[in-house]
Amino acid sequence: MAAYLSMGEAHRRIGDYLSRVTNAISYSDGAALASLLSVSSAPASTPLSDALAAFPDFPRLAGDRFPHLADFLVPLLRAIHSHSVQRFADAYSSFEKASSAFLQEFRNWETPWAMEAMHTVALEIRLIAEKADRELATNGKNPDKLQAAGSFLMKVFGTLAVKGPKRIGALYVTCQLFKIYFRLGTVNLCRSVIRSIETARNFDFEDFPVKDKVTYMYYTGRLEVFNENFLVADQKLTYALMHCNSQSESNLRRILKFLIPVKLSIGVLPKRTLLERYNLLEYADVVTALKRGDLRLLRQALDRHEDQFLKSGVYLVLEKLELQVYQRLVKKIHNIQRQKEPAKAHQIKLDVVVRALKWLEIDMDVDEVECIMACLIYKNLIKGYFAHKSKVLVLSKQDPFPKLNGKPV
């Protein structure tokens, strides 16, 4: 229970906070202003929140002392108070009003001195919206605040995505939008923002802060994974990995969680030490299956971690690795046959493949195996042809198992 707070002390604390906000604006102190706008990370009880609870007439106090900023300060105080008593939907509504008023002020300032504060607003509106939506869903109401936050951030992006010094802040807001769209499952909305960043002449990607570029490449790389553009996904996610802070293991793990399936799809296998270091052992059996040509192990790994892979959106990517596993299985059969009968090493009876699969507890008939071998030939995973009548796969004597060389199947 908070200690008793007199009206006079509450009045003083609120006035002190308002003075610090207005002074930060008057002296163009972006860092100080940013710290004062951070709402979601504050504990339930702070000197300011206790004062707001003890002095319910705080809206009038803010309006009377600073009428020229009342549209910003009054809803900001309401947001802080509502958040402290865990009324998150109310906190969001108030914070959005304060943010809209702040955006209007920001547009009028010629220099980007308040960019750090604008970024704080962009972050806070997303975080408060997430809390509000959880509250609304728990109470059986429509969780629509995160969608509203996305609409507001598009206005912020529009303000920043113009010629001039403020454009340097656009990528941070873009990344906040990505986080919203990915959470809502509306990733198609990312496209218009990406086009603005990548085609507009007033943006030079290398001018943006490194941490924003890493986040941007991470999310756009994930988008390319969903679209099965694995070469582009590899480039973007590799960029994110190479430029990510080496001390931030959690972020490195997030990137690798998507980069590893992409690498696997183009024939690059990670070392087990990497999987162990970043606690990504769900991929260990997948890698082993690729090395051994063990279709059973691959399917077991996908089944065991199905929920995890589906949630990440990489299940279908991993499922398509079956063709590489089949290639490896045929290659193992070829190697064994080359030792036993070198003269006929390039001739593999489909019945032998059927028996190998049966040993792996996978039942297929010759016709099914023939279809798979045809697919491997079509995908250039195997060079050869069929002797259809004798049910024999005839392998090329030169490079019968082409390497992917960084190209997806």
pLDDT tens, position by position, 231-260:
999 999 999 999 999 999 999 999 999 999
Structure tokens at 241: 């990995």
Q: How many CA atoms lie within 13 A of 397 on its CB side?
A: 3
Comparing CA positions, the residue from 316, 335, 321, 256 lying closest to residue 287 is 321
**Any idea which residue has 């939907």 for tokens?**
89
Q: What Å distances lie between residue 236 and 224, 229, 264, 274, 292, CA to CA?
A: 9, 11, 16, 20, 30
Judge contact between 146 and 133, C-beta under 8 A: yes
pLDDT of residue 214: 97
Distance in angstroms (rounded) separating the CA atoms of residues 181 and 240: 20
Percent of the chain exceeding pLDDT 90 equals 74
Is residue 94 pLDDT above 70, yes or no?
yes
Mean pLDDT of the region 365-372: 89
Domains of the chain: 7-208 (no CATH), 290-395 (1.10.10.10)
From the number of C-beta atoms within 10 Å of its C-beta (0-12, 13-18, 19+), residue 227 rates as exposed
pLDDT of residue 385: 87
Mean pLDDT of the region 21-25: 97
pLDDT digits (tens, 9 = 90+) for 300-309: 999 999 999 9
Query: Rounded to the nearest 5°, which phi and psi values hold at 384?
Result: 165, -165
Residue 164 banded pLDDT, cuts 50, 70, 90:
confident
pLDDT of residue 202: 65
Distance in angstroms (rounded) separating the CA atoms of residues 86 and 111: 36
Judge contact between 59 and 78, C-beta under 8 A: yes
Distance in angstroms (rounded) separating the CA atoms of residues 400 and 110: 65
**Any idea which residue has 């994930």 for tokens?**
222
Q: Under 8 Å CB-to-CB from 183, ≥6 apart: which residues?
A: 130, 146
Q: pTM of this prediction?
A: 0.89
Q: What Å distances lie between residue 10 and 13, 42, 61, 170, CA to CA?
A: 5, 18, 11, 38
pLDDT digits (tens, 9 = 90+) for 188-226: 999 989 988 887 666 788 889 999 999 999 999 999 999
